Chain A
Amino acid sequence: MSKPILEIKDLNAGVVGKPILNGISLTIRAGETHAIMGPNGSGKSTLAAVLAGRDGYDVTGGSVHYLGEDLLELAPEERARAGVFLGFQYPVEIPGVNSTYFLKAALNEIRRHRGLPELDAMEFLSLVKDKIKLLDLDADLLKRAVNVGFSGGEKKRNEIFQMAVLEPKLAILDETDSGLDIDALRVVATGVNKLRRPDNAQLVITHYQRLLNYIVPDFVHVLMDGRIVRSGGKELALELEARGYDWLTPAAAAA
C-alpha cells in the first residue's frame, strides 16, 4: 500500500456551540481519488473548510495528519505551501487584485517553501500558457482582477487552473460541479483527471453522482449528520443516484 497523504481520525468539529462533524475517520493514500457525497447539511463543506483552515470552526476532538504532520496546527497559507489545495464552492471575487499577479505571488510562496527558485515574469507566463490550455480558459481572463467578471463556469475552471499551476499533493474540490453545464463539467473533470498522479491525491466533494461519471473515484464515502455512514467503491455512487440518501439514515439503517 502507498503511504498515507491524509489521515483523519475521529474528527469532531463545528461552529460555536453547534457540532457539525461527529467523528469522521478517513485515510487517503497517494494515487487515490476519494469522493464524499451527502445530502445538504451533512457536513461536506465543513469538512473541506476545516481541512483548509477556514476561520470560525472549532475542532473539538480527533486529529488530522497530513504527510505525518499535524495539519490542524498549520495556518491556511502553511497548509497551501505544504501542498493542500481547496477548490472553492464559491470562488471569491477580489476587485483590484490582478489574477496573474496573485497567482505568481502564490506560486512563488509555494516554490520558496519547496526550496525551488522563484519564477520571474517570463518563466511564469510560459508556465501559465501551458496550463491554461488544459482548462480551455481564455488567457485574457488572467489580465482581469481575480474572478471579477468571470462567468460561473469560468470561476470553477479558474479554480482547477490554479490547481494545475500550484500542483498540490492533496486537492480538496468542494462541489466543483455545482452550477456547471455538461460541457463545462467535462472540461473541469478532464482537467482534474490530467492532474492525477501516483504521488498525489484528490478528495472530491459533491452532492450529485453526475461529476463521478467523469472523475472516477477509487472510494466513495457517504456523509450524513457529520458521520461517514457508508464507504464503498465507485458503484456506491450509482446506488445513491438510483436510491437517494434516505435508505442510509440511521433510522432506516436500524429498521
Chain B
Amino acid sequence: MKEAATFIKRVAGFAPADGDSVQPAWLAPIRRAGFARFSELGLPTLKQEDWRFTNVAPLTELPFQPAPESARNDLTADALAGLPFAQLPGDRLVFVDGHFAPELSRTGRHPDGVRIGSLAAALRNDVALVEPYLTRWTRTEANPFIALNEAFFRDGAFIHVPAGKTIEEPVQLLFLSTGRAAGVAAQPRNLIVAGRESQVTIVETHVGLADGATFTNAVTELAVGDGAVVELVKLQDESRKAFHFAVLHAHLGRGVNLVAHSFALGSRLARQNIRTVLDGEGIECVLNGLYLAGDDQLLDHHMIVDHARPHCASHEYFNGILDGRAKGVFHGRILVRQPAQKTDAKQTNKNLLLSDEATVDTKPQLEIYADDVKCTHGATVGQLNPESIFYLRSRGIPRDLARRMLIHAFGGEIIERVRCVPAREELDRLVRRRLAEHKQAKLETSAV
C-alpha cells in the first residue's frame, strides 16, 4: 500500500479530483475510484497470474515525475518530419509527453458531427458526446494501470464518428516522449467512438525522441456501433530505456469488423493489454501483432477476446522476433460465454529466437462455456530453418541476406494484414530497417 502511495506521488504529483478545476463534476468520483483502486491493488507482482512473466519492479526504482507542459515549446513540425508515418495523409493529433500540441497537429474538413481533437477540450465543449462512453467499457478491477490512468489522465485523443459517416484518410495519433529529463511520466487517455455503420482507420504511434527513462501509461477505449468497420494500427517505438504500459479495451456491436494491430519495437519494458468484447452477432475481430526485441528488452502482449454473442469470428495472429537477451511474453485468452454458440475463434503465436539467450513465455488459453463452437490455438517457438537458409544460399544469396529475408518474411506475415496501404508500406520499411540495425549491432559486437 505504501509502495502504491509513493508511486502515485511520483507519477502524478497531485491527488486526483483536484487536478483540473474545469473538469466536469461527474468525472470526480471516477477519478477517486481509480485512485482508491490503485491504492488497494498496488503495482502487480510476479505472483499474479496475469503478470507472472513480467516484472514491473524496475518501475519503482526510477525517479518519476509528471510531465511538464513546457516540454513541447521548442518542438517544431520539422522535428517530426523524420518520424514514422510522417508522410501519411489525413489528420494528425500530436501529444508531447501527454500534452496536446495543437501547433504540431492538423485536422481537415470532415462530415457533419465528426470530432477529431483533444479529450481535454472535448470534456469542456462536448461533454454530451463524451460522458456516455468515457470509462464505460474499461475495467479497472484486474489492472492497476487502468485504475492509475483513470485517476490521473489529463488528455489524449477524442474521436467521434457519427453513424453512417466514413473518414477516408487515416487519423494519426502521435505520442512523443521527449525523454530529455529522466523519469517523465505521461498517462494519455484516448476515447474513440465509431457510430453505427461508420468507418475509420486510426494509426496510433508512440515514439521516444531522446534516450530517457520515460513512463507511459496509456488507455484507449474504443466503442464500435453496429456494422461499423474500424482498423486500428498501434506502433510502439519508444526509447530503449522507456517503460510503456498500454491498454486497449474495445466494445463491439453487431456485425462489426475490427482489425487491431500492435507493432511493438521499442521500450525497455512494454506491456500491451487488449480486451475486446464481442457483444453482438456476426462480428469479425482480428487482433494482429508483431514484437521485435533485442538487447534486454521485454515486450509483453496480454489479450482477452470475450465472445459474448453467437456467430462471431475472432482471429489472433502474433509473431515475435527475439534477439540478444530479449524476452517476449504472449498471453492470449479466448473466452467463449455460454450464449456464444457457433463461435469461430483462432489464435496463433509464433516466435523466432535469433540468439541462445533470447526467451519467450507464451500462454494461449481457451475458456469455453458454449458447446457448439470451433476454437483453436497454437504456439510455436523456433529458430530459422537451416534448410531454407541453405536453399537460398545454394542460389547465390549470401548467408546474412538469406537470414534477413527469412526473418523479414516472418514479420511480413503480420505486416501484410494491415489494410491501410501507406501505413503497411511504412511498417514494412521500418521493420526492414530495424532488422538491418539489429544485424549491424551484432556485427559490431562480434568485431570487438
Which chain A residues have a beta carbon within 8 Å of chain B's beta carbons? Answer: 52-55, 75-77, 79-81, 85-86, 88, 91-92, 94-97, 102-103, 105-107, 109-110, 113, 145-146, 162, 166
Q: Which of A80, A88, A91, A102 contacts B405 (CB 8 A)?
A: A102
Please state if A109 and B396 are interface contacts (CB–CB under 8 Å). Answer: yes
Q: How many angstroms between the C-alpha atoms of A97 and B412 in the bound complex?
A: 9
- Confirm or deny: B388 has a beta carbon within 8 angstroms of a beta carbon on chain A: yes
Identify which of A54, A76, A109 gathers the most chain B CB atoms within 10 Å of its CB: A76
Q: How many angstroms between the C-alpha atoms of A110 and B398 in the bound complex?
A: 11
16 contacts between A and B (CB under 8 A): A53-B394, A75-B399, A77-B396, A80-B393, A85-B394, A91-B391, A92-B385, A95-B409, A96-B406, A96-B408, A97-B406, A103-B395, A105-B397, A106-B392, A110-B396, A162-B395
Q: Which of B385, B394, B397, B412 contacts A52 (CB 8 A)?
A: B394
Residues of A within 8 Å of B133, CB to CB, are: none
Residues of B within 8 Å of A146, CB to CB, are: 391
Given A94-B388, A96-B410, A109:B398 Cβ within 8 A: yes
Q: How many angstroms between the C-alpha atoms of A157 and B387 in the bound complex?
A: 20
Residues of B within 8 Å of A145, CB to CB, are: 409
Q: Which of B388, B390, B405, B412 contacts A76 (CB 8 A)?
A: B390
> Taking the nearest CB of chain B, how far is it from the CB of A52, in angstroms?
5
Q: A79-B394, A102-B395 are in contact. List 10 more A-B contacts (CB 8 A).
A: A55-B390, A76-B394, A80-B394, A92-B387, A94-B388, A96-B412, A97-B392, A97-B409, A105-B401, A109-B398
Residues of A within 8 Å of B394, CB to CB, are: 52-53, 76-77, 79-80, 85-86, 88
Q: How many angstroms between the C-alpha atoms of A53 and B391 in the bound complex?
A: 11
- Confirm or deny: B361 has a beta carbon within 8 angstroms of a beta carbon on chain A: no
Residues of B within 8 Å of A91, CB to CB, are: 391
Which chain B residues have a beta carbon within 8 Å of chain A's beta carbons? Answer: 385-388, 390-399, 401-402, 405-406, 408-410, 412-413
Please state if B392 and A81 are interface contacts (CB–CB under 8 Å). Answer: no
Please state if B396 and A97 are interface contacts (CB–CB under 8 Å). Answer: no
Identify which of B391, B396, B398, B408 gathers the most chain A CB atoms within 10 Å of its CB: B396
Please state if A77 and B397 are interface contacts (CB–CB under 8 Å). Answer: yes
> Taking the nearest CB of chain B, how far is it from the CB of A66, in angstroms?
14
Residues of B within 8 Å of A53, CB to CB, are: 393-394
Residues of B within 8 Å of A109, CB to CB, are: 396-398
> Taking the nearest CB of chain B, how far is it from the CB of A83, in angstroms?
10
Q: How many angstroms between the C-alpha atoms of A113 and B405 in the bound complex?
A: 20
Q: Which of B386, B388, B401, B406 contacts A55 (CB 8 A)?
A: B386
Q: Which of A55, A79, A88, A106 contacts B397 (CB 8 A)?
A: A106
Q: Which of B391, B398, B399, B409 contacts A92 (CB 8 A)?
A: B391
Q: How many angstroms between the C-alpha atoms of A79 and B409 in the bound complex?
A: 25
Residues of B within 8 Å of A166, CB to CB, are: 395-396
Please state if A96 and B413 are interface contacts (CB–CB under 8 Å). Answer: yes
Please state if B397 and A96 are interface contacts (CB–CB under 8 Å). Answer: no
Q: How many angstroms between the C-alpha atoms of A166 and B394 in the bound complex?
A: 11
Residues of A within 8 Å of B395, CB to CB, are: 77, 80, 102-103, 106, 162, 166
Q: How many angstroms between the C-alpha atoms of A102 and B395 in the bound complex?
A: 9
Q: How many angstroms between the C-alpha atoms of A80 and B409 in the bound complex?
A: 23
Q: How many angstroms between the C-alpha atoms of A81 and B409 in the bound complex?
A: 24
Q: How many angstroms between the C-alpha atoms of A55 and B390 in the bound complex?
A: 8
Residues of A within 8 Å of B409, CB to CB, are: 94-97, 145
Q: How many angstroms between the C-alpha atoms of A81 and B395 in the bound complex?
A: 8
Q: How many angstroms between the C-alpha atoms of A112 and B388 in the bound complex?
A: 23
Please state if A92 and B396 are interface contacts (CB–CB under 8 Å). Answer: no
> Taking the nearest CB of chain A, how far is it from the CB of B311, in angstroms?
30
Q: How many angstroms between the C-alpha atoms of A95 and B416 in the bound complex?
A: 13
Q: How many angstroms between the C-alpha atoms of A77 and B396 in the bound complex?
A: 4
> Taking the nearest CB of chain A, how far is it from the CB of B292, in angstroms?
15
Identify which of B385, B398, B401 gathers the most chain A CB atoms within 10 Å of its CB: B398
> Taking the nearest CB of chain B, how far is it from the CB of A206, in angstroms?
19
Residues of B within 8 Å of A81, CB to CB, are: 396
Residues of B within 8 Å of A162, CB to CB, are: 395
Q: How many angstroms between the C-alpha atoms of A211 and B401 in the bound complex?
A: 35
Q: How many angstroms between the C-alpha atoms of A202 and B397 in the bound complex?
A: 22
**Identity of the chain B residue whose Cβ is nearest the Cβ of A95 in the assembled complex:** B409
Please state if A106 and B396 are interface contacts (CB–CB under 8 Å). Answer: yes
**Identity of the chain B residue whose Cβ is nearest the Cβ of A113 in the assembled complex:** B396
Q: How many angstroms between the C-alpha atoms of A8 and B396 in the bound complex?
A: 22
Q: Which of A54, A97, A105, A106 contacts B390 (CB 8 A)?
A: A54
Q: How many angstroms between the C-alpha atoms of A79 and B413 in the bound complex?
A: 31
Q: Which of B391, B393, B396, B401 contacts A94 (CB 8 A)?
A: B391
> Taking the nearest CB of chain A, how far is it from the CB of B431, in angstroms?
12
> Taking the nearest CB of chain B, how far is it from the CB of A149, in angstroms?
14
Q: How many angstroms between the C-alpha atoms of A75 and B388 in the bound complex?
A: 15
Identify which of B385, B397, B401, B405 gathers the most chain A CB atoms within 10 Å of its CB: B397
> Taking the nearest CB of chain A, how far is it from the CB of B106, in angstroms?
35
Identify which of B408, B409, B413 gathers the most chain A CB atoms within 10 Å of its CB: B409
> Taking the nearest CB of chain B, how far is it from the CB of A96, in angstroms?
3
Q: How many angstroms between the C-alpha atoms of A85 and B396 in the bound complex?
A: 9
